[in-house]
Structure 1
Amino acid sequence: MEEEPFRTIIEPFRIHSVEPLRMTTRAERREHLGAAAYNLFQLRAEHVLIDLLTDSGTGAMSRDQWAAIQHGDESYAGSPSFYVFVDAVRELFPFEHVIPVHQGRAAEKILFTALGGPGRIVPNNTHFDTTRANVEATGARAVDLVIAEGRDPLSEHPFKGNMDLEALDALLAEHAASVPCVMVTITNNSGGGQPVSLANLQGVREVCDRYDTPLFLDACRFAENAWFIHEREEGQGERDVADIVRDMAALADGMTMSAKKDPMGNIGGWLAMRDDDLAQACRTQLILTEGFPTYGGLAGRDLEALAQGLREVVQHDYLRYRIRSTAYLGEALQRIGVPVLRPIGGHAVYLDARGLAPHLDPLEYPGQSVAVALYEAGGIRSCEIGTVMFGRQPDGSEAPSSMDLVRLAIPRRTYTQSHIDYVIEVCARVAADAASLPGYRITAEPPSLRHFTAAFEPLR
């Protein structure tokens, strides 16, 4: 008789090296906030206790990734490390053309330089910040077509990242000639790290085929998306995650990738596609902006580390731990009454800032207010995903985003359960005093991607 599994899911690794955390006082953190103009991106990392700003490039590499670095060949052209990298990518994503870049936004820049332009329209389930900025920088229009449940923080839909197929069909029926590609972001970061089902991707493919429109994946959290398919989608529970990833890739004509997420790298990314002419245009742009096509702005050692990371990220033991440890944080916050976006996503827990601070108007930036409070209370750095990030319109006007969230992004293989228990305590303390949180105003901002460098002040 098979034994009952243990309830405790342990980390499928041991800690090999550690780095110190610097403790700070609340008074010190107030000073740091003032010096940073209340923008958490502007804080010095040594002033942060638990850094949940992003999971991008902030994870811990494995022993085998560090060993792979020693194999790195730094030849300018034709490095053996490039071919190790390409073989590892094609093992999961069988695209003819694989173009390395230094990170995901470089892939977006190159792709939309080739495909974008005034009058063009790029639909997505939900564009993330750099994707939207790179689309709009060319004069094209970025359109979000996530399903209605994806805009409802309380919906328990298992695949809230799904594309609205009817809306996509209607857009292409009217504007197909102006749509150079359709994109689907997996998992849907701006919508709370919510997954896209395999059935929905197949539906998107069918709509694209009706209008002869290419489909690209923004695939930086592909393994987490595949795990959700494995866990939640009918008929997928007995399948290997790597095979699910291959099925997702087979439905697309190309992809952008920030390898600082699921491929377990501290730097890197790629652009991949089937189309020969588009690949030639992209390689030309790559040489102008990133480097030769066999290194693309990366060292050979980076390429070797990414190849190993791609092997590790599809392991079931790792993905079970990864998704469950994120859910541990989200479920604990739900139990103590802190409003979070449900169901819990893959790489992060998203606090519902409007639910936490209903006294603040969206244009008073409740997400920024909650994020600042988390840092002041406990040294936790998080990221506003809301009206600060997405409220500025292409014409320069301001409008509330569909949701105001605070993302607690969990770096891979970095923090222990006690760190997360501390985060829960800090969130509980901020929630208890949420009615007293001030709104914020922007005192200085750049013309695009303002959340990275804008200056704020509290409304007293």
Structure 2
Amino acid sequence: MKRRTAEPYKIKAVEPLKMLNYEERKRALKEAGYNTFLINSEDVYIDLLTDSGTTAMSDRQWGALMTGDEAYAGSKSWFTLENAVREIYGYKYVIPTHQGRGAENLLSQMKIKEGDYVPGNMYFTTTRAHQELNGATFVDVIIDEAHDSLLDYPFKGNIDLTKLEKLIHEVGAEKIPYVCTAVTVNLAGGQPVSMQNLKEVYDLCQKYHIDVMYDATRCVENAFFIQEREEGYENKSIKDILKEMFTYSDGCTMSGKKDCLVNIGGFLAMNDEDLYTRARELVVLYEGMPSYGGLAGRDMEAMAQGIYESVDDHYIQHRIHQVRYLGEQLIDAGIPVVKPIGGHAVFLDAKQFLPHLKHEELPAQSLAASLYLDSGVRSMERGIVSGGRNKVTGENNKPKLELVRLTIPRRVYTNNHMDVVADSVIHLYEKREQITGLEMTYEPPTLRFFNARFKPLAVNGELIGSEASSTTT
């Protein structure tokens, strides 16, 4: 008999949840233009939109807020954060930013020039936007296995060394300012990169004098998968695995709103002193002084404490297993999801879920909207809408994966909440033929998935046919 485990924490405070009935959800969804990003938070029952900044902080983190030093320069809270980053991640230099995209902005401006190419293991929306705004072309060099949602492959986030070296030969190493390696890969389904691949990529880049910069947002989750799946690491601690991972890089951008367990904050870290000097000058223009970079002292204290808590083996084991608990229920019910289950979310394969909808009918956006309508569960699209348009042709980018992300906030929900989510997804799957597609009625010029608006393609203007109407109140 397999022994069950519980959350490695107990609850000190609760936040009441609002439960709208079906007609109220229908009205809220229509007012939001069928875009889950535009639904008011108070109208959401279980919020799986993102794990970014939605963490429940610990009592020690809340206590750390009270010790924040709000000095404009030389804050002791800055040194607390700097020491935590150096100890856990191993980098020499740290620039605090208001969140991860602030670090992406600094890195892109410093490293990229017009006509450059930035290879990476699948794009992320804001990362690619910063790279393109500074004149670079993103090139996807992830392994082919990452694009097959049903393939159960342990390290789908790996970079294809052949693809990478081919690009180097085609454009020249001087036109590649750095390789952007995401650990884990969000849009592939939260898939990890193996330690062997990280080392091989770093060795190849050193040969051509190309930097390796991590998107380290979910690096602790990546370390867990290495511990679980890669030979030789099963008896090593998460902290030790993480430290080795970062030795195969020259720097990183970090959104502290994920694996650093805080609601705001991030940093840019590196080992190159010259790059650090430039970053110290540039951060003043966009963020603030190098010793706070857009953060209050209390935010830096909370993030430092969160960094230490994140490498606790019991915490990260529960974190991954809760995501897996939801995913395995859906797999058992025959729901098409990305395999293996990733670190921060369960990804529904919308093309497989709604095969009657064409790519241009936005199946992932439609499925995300339908899930909210059915149960008040908010998720998000990761497909053609998130893919944006080709900057040269203006045509829609059509990613091979058309996904809906059920993103689990850290230390927020119990497995009972996961059961509610599973029931709703299964209910929709049983009625999937009654779900119609969407068309875009408003398209922002950049990062359209945040603010785009849609309407149902059905003649009667209904997202779900009457046969599929939810009984959930």
TM-score, structure 2 normalization: 0.95
5 Å-filtered alignment, 1:175-254, equals: 175=171, 176-254=173-251
Per the TM alignment, residue 437 of structure 1 is displaced from its structure 2 partner at its CA by 1.2
Work out the CA distance in 2 between the residues paired with 1:449 and 1:7.
45
Per the alignment, residue 412 of structure 1 pairs with 410
CA distance in 2 between counterparts of 1:203 and 1:441 reads 44
2:23 equivalent among 9, 20, 27: 27
Of the structure 1 ranges 276-285 and 357-366, higher mean CA displacement relative to structure 2 is found in 276-285
Give a deviation string over 1:414-460, Cα, whole Å, max 9, x none: 00111110001000111111112111111111111000001111111
Q: CA–CA distance in 2 between the matches of 1:446 and 1:113?
A: 23
CA distance in 1, matches of 2:281, 2:357: 48
Q: Which amino acid aligns with 2:45?
A: L
Is residue 40–residue 382 contact of structure 1 (8 Å, CA) maintained in 2? Answer: yes
Q: Select the residue among 372, 396, 399 that pairs with 1:398.
A: 396
1:146 lines up with 2:142 in the alignment: yes
1:13-92 aligned at under 5 Å gives the runs 13-92=9-88
Note if contact 2:88-2:308 (Cα within 8 Å) is conserved in structure 1: no
Residue of structure 2 in register with 1:454 after alignment: 452
Matching residue's letter, 2:128: R
SS at match of 2:13: coil
Shift of 1:391: 4.0
Which residue of the partner structure matches residue 428 of structure 1? Answer: 426
2:280 and 2:148 map into 1 onto residues whose CA distance is 40
Of stretches 44-53 and 32-41 in structure 1, the one that deviates more from structure 2 is 32-41
1:13-43 C-alpha deviation (Å, 9 max, x unpaired):
0001000000101111111111111111111
C-alpha distance in 1 between matches for 2:281 and 2:457: 49
Distance in 1 of aligned mates of 2:110 and 2:400: 30
Do the aligned residues in 1 keep the contact of 2:389 with 2:395 (CA within 8 Å)? yes
Cα deviation 1:182-230 (Å, max 9, x = unaligned): 0100110011000000000011011101211000000010111000000
Counterpart code for 2:352: G
How far, CA to CA, are the matches of 2:69 and 2:91 in structure 1? 24
Residues 146 and 161, structure 1, Cα contact 8 Å, conserved in 2: yes
Aligned 8 A contact 1:363 1:399 in 2 = no
Equivalence for 1:382: 379
Q: 1: CA distance between counterparts of 2:137 and 2:97?
A: 24
Distance 1:138 1:146 in 2: 22
Give the Cα separation in 2 of the matches to 1:147 and 1:406: 21
Deviations 1:23-80 (A, max 9, x none): 1011111111111111111110000000000000001000110011111000000000
SS in 2 for 1:457: strand
Amino acid at match of 1:70: M
1:250-399 → structure 2 map (5 Å cutoff): 250-395=247-392, 396-399=394-397
Q: Which amino acid aligns with 1:45?
A: S
Amino acid across the alignment from 2:423: E
SS in 2 for 1:21: coil
Matches within 5 A, 1:111-150: 111-150=107-146
Matching residue's letter, 2:441: T
Match of 2:102 among 95, 100, 106: 106
Encode CA deviations 1:100-126: one digit per residue, 9 max, x unaligned. Answer: 000000100111011123201111101
Question: Higher mean Cα deviation, 352-361 or 436-445?
Answer: 436-445
- Structure 1 equivalent of residue 464 of structure 2: none
CA RMSD of aligned residues (A): 1.0
Whether the 8 Å contact between 1:363 and 1:400 is mirrored in structure 2 is: no
Quote the offset at 1:245 in angstroms.
Answer: 0.6
- CA shift, 1:174, in A, is 2.2
Structure 1: how far apart are the matches of 2:83 and 2:197? 28
Q: Structure 1 counterpart of 2:115, which letter?
A: G
Q: Give 3-state SS (helix, strand or coil) of 1:196's partner.
A: coil
Q: Tell me the SS of whatever aligns to 1:408.
A: strand
Equivalent position SS for 2:417: helix
Separation in 2, partners of 1:9, 1:203: 37
| Matched-pair contact (CA < 8 Å) for 1:391–1:401 | no
Tell me how far apart the structure 1 counterparts of residues 127 and 397 of structure 2 sit (CA, whole Å).
19
Change in CA separation of 1:80 and 1:130 when aligned onto 2, cut-off 3 Å? same
Which residue type is aligned with residue 126 of structure 1?
Answer: M
Q: How many equivalent pairs are there? A: 456
Q: Detail structure 1 runs of 4+ shifted over 3 Å in the superposition.
A: none
Deviation at 1:7, TM superposition (A): 2.3
3-state SS of 1:142 partner: strand
- Separation in structure 2 between the aligned mates of residue 221 and residue 7 of structure 1, nearest angstrom: 28
Question: What is the deviation of 1:281?
Answer: 1.9
Instruction: Read off the aligned partner of 1:374 and give its amino acid letter.
Output: L
1:9 CA drift (Å)? 2.1
Describe the superposition over 1:134-191 as per-residue Cα deviations: whole angstroms up to 9, x where unpaired. 1111121111111011000011110001111110011112221110000100110011
The match for 1:437 is: 435
Q: Given the two structures, how large is their TM-score scaled by the length of structure 1? A: 0.98
In structure 1, distance between residues paired with 2:341 and 2:311: 20
Q: Secondary structure at the match of 2:96?
A: strand
SS state of the match for residue 346, structure 2?
Answer: strand
Hey, what does 2:152 align to over in structure 1? 156
Letter in 2 for 1:190: L
- The CA deviation string for residues 384-408 of structure 1, in whole angstroms up to 9 with x for no partner, is 0110001421122113211100000
Q: Which runs of 5+ in 2 are unaligned?
A: 459-473
Using the alignment, how far apart are the partners of 1:47 and 1:333 within structure 2? 25
Unaligned stretches of 5+ in structure 1? none
The question of whether the paired residues in 1 share the 8 Å contact of 2:331 and 2:337 is answered with: yes
